[in-house]
Amino acid sequence: MLGNTFGRIFRITTCGESYGKGRGSGLAVIVDGVPPGLRITRDVIQKELDKRRPGIGKFNSPRKETDQCEIFAGIGQDGLTTGAPLGIIIYNVDTKKVHVEQYRSYRDIFRPGHATYSFFLKYGEYQDWCGAGRASGRETVARVAGGAVAKFILAREGIEILAYTKECMGIRCKEMSFEEIKNNYRKNEINCPDLAAAEKMEEKILEIKNQGDTAGGIIEIIAHNVPPGLGEPVFDKINALIAHALCSIGAVKGIEFGAGFGVGKMKGSENNDQPYMTPDGKVRFRTNNAGGILGGITNGEDIVVRIAVKPTPTISIEQISINMRTMKEETLKPITRRDPTLLGRIYAVAEAMMACAILDALYMARAYDALAKLDKKWMRLKGC
């Protein structure tokens, strides 16, 4: 299996499955590009992992994974990073035989909305049928661990990343400032900072859950205080890198930046963000339809991205599928653990991948600036 690494200078490589075989199964991430001398502790990683941990609340899968992490490489005897790759592992602890047998009972029937069919095409009968293997949402726990390292490094640069539920089943969060979103961050299970909208979303999700179905929605991710000048024009635009990062999350089916698809209804005079000079000689913009990115390069405004998250594909309603061994249609009503919506946990994954993309771009930009030796007036505008 290829494609398990993301990044150029700051890189994460993940491995592991939803269930795995035998004792000690789990998921791990190797993080390259970690500077030496950082006090990255287990608690730093655990704080992020707890955001996506299952088995808590009415909207999460009942799978009782504790998601406790261990840093097994890259930390010296004095508790500081050495500059070597950082290794983090999260063991699976709730993989009982009864759950394995549930998956075994329909191992050859692909679940609609899942990757089973395409995995059969790629790997044949050897594809991992137990809990969807690498195609499971559980794969993302390793991403969050790697993203926690990226967020720790970005925090030293004053860069913050927050994601939250913007919309669920047609119920939309009102427009709020970054500070308002930050103040109401994680104040409810759906992680919607508009508390009134959150209550309506939760009621709707429970209604859908009781029908044996699941709910989709939209997550907005904001990167705050990102310096201008990140991103490489043409193929490595910062928006292209972010799209790569976020669209690599299995449940993401759409992405937009700034005004997004709304620009299709705008005139140029409405869409263009007009600049102005601040008293301290910085360039800012009166609006942010561009989502903080011009020409594939950050412009100093907040990076604003929204992703469309599909409903959890496993449902309790009967569906028609195909048995890949007999090549005949069969009725499928799987019995397995699931989230009635992914929104209350996937925001942590979105934050992690956004952090990895931005930190990697920051490494590239700082390296380029060191060699380009531009006129100091341009460096001042970038905050250098």
pLDDT at 62 over 70: no
Burial 68-92 (b: 16+ CB within 10 A, else e): ebebeebbeeeeebbeebbbbbbbb
Q: What is the DSSP string of 161-204?
A: EEEEEEEETTEEPPP--HHHHHHTTTSSTT--SSHHHHHHHHHH
**Identity of residue 94:** D
Give the least confident one: 125-129, 148-152, 249-253, 272-276. 125-129
Contact 169, 217 (CB under 8 A): yes
Nearest by Cα to 348 from 135, 173, 150 = 150
Average pLDDT over residues 275-283: 92
pLDDT grade, residue 54 (50/70/90)? Answer: low
Average pLDDT over residues 179-200: 97
Question: How does pLDDT run across 69-104, given as a tens digit for each residue?
Answer: 999 999 999 999 999 999 999 998 866 677 777 777
pLDDT at 61 over 80: no
Nearest by Cα to 220 from 261, 164, 262 = 164
Burial 273-300 (b: 16+ CB within 10 A, else e): beeeeeeeeeeebeebbbbbbbebbbbb
Burial 103-121 (b: 16+ CB within 10 A, else e): beebbbbbbbebbbeebbe
Contact 155, 40 (CB under 8 A): no
> Helices marked H in the chain — which ranges?
42-52, 97-104, 116-123, 140-156, 178-183, 195-210, 238-247, 268-271, 343-372, 376-381
Contact 165, 204 (CB under 8 A): no
Give the least confident one: 96-105, 138-147, 151-160, 205-214. 96-105
Name the pTM for this structure. 0.92
Average pLDDT over residues 178-188: 96
- Could you tell me the domains of the chain? 5-381 (3.60.150.10)
Query: Which residues on adjacent β-strands are paired with residue 325?
Result: none
pLDDT at 119 over 80: yes
Sequence-distant (≥ 6) Cβ neighbours of residue 238 within 8 angstroms:
230, 231, 293, 296, 297, 298, 303, 357, 358, 361
Sequence-distant (≥ 6) Cβ neighbours of residue 42 within 8 angstroms:
69, 70, 71
Tell the residue number behind the tokens 């460096």, with chain if given: 379
Sequence-distant (≥ 6) Cβ neighbours of residue 84 within 8 angstroms:
73, 74
Other residues' Cβ atoms within 10 Å of the Cβ of residue 348: 23
Amino acid 219: pLDDT: 98
Average pLDDT over residues 8-12: 97
Amino acid 90: pLDDT: 93
Question: Which tops the pLDDT comparison, 369 or 244?
Answer: 244
> Across the chain, how many H-helices and E-strands are there?
10, 16
Contact 164, 51 (CB under 8 A): no
pLDDT at 263 over 90: yes
Question: How does pLDDT run across 335-353, given as a tens digit for each residue?
Answer: 666 789 999 999 999 999 9
Nearest by Cα to 221 from 284, 250, 178 = 178
Average pLDDT over residues 17-42: 88
CA 9 vs. chain centroid, Å, equals: 19
Nearest by Cα to 221 from 117, 348, 344 = 348
Tell the residue number behind the tokens 């395409």, with chain if given: 118
pLDDT at 163 over 90: yes
Q: What percent of the chain has pLDDT over 90?
A: 68
Q: What is the mean pLDDT of the chain?
A: 91
pLDDT at 199 over 80: yes
Nearest by Cα to 16 from 81, 54, 67, 60 = 67
In the three-class reduction of DSSP (H, G, I as helix; E, B as strand; rest coil), residue 69 is classed as strand
The two structure tokens encoding residue 214: 């699941």
Question: How does pLDDT run across 312-339, given as a tens digit for each residue?
Answer: 988 888 889 998 889 999 888 766 667 8
Helices 343-372 and 42-52, axial angle in degrees (round to 10): 130
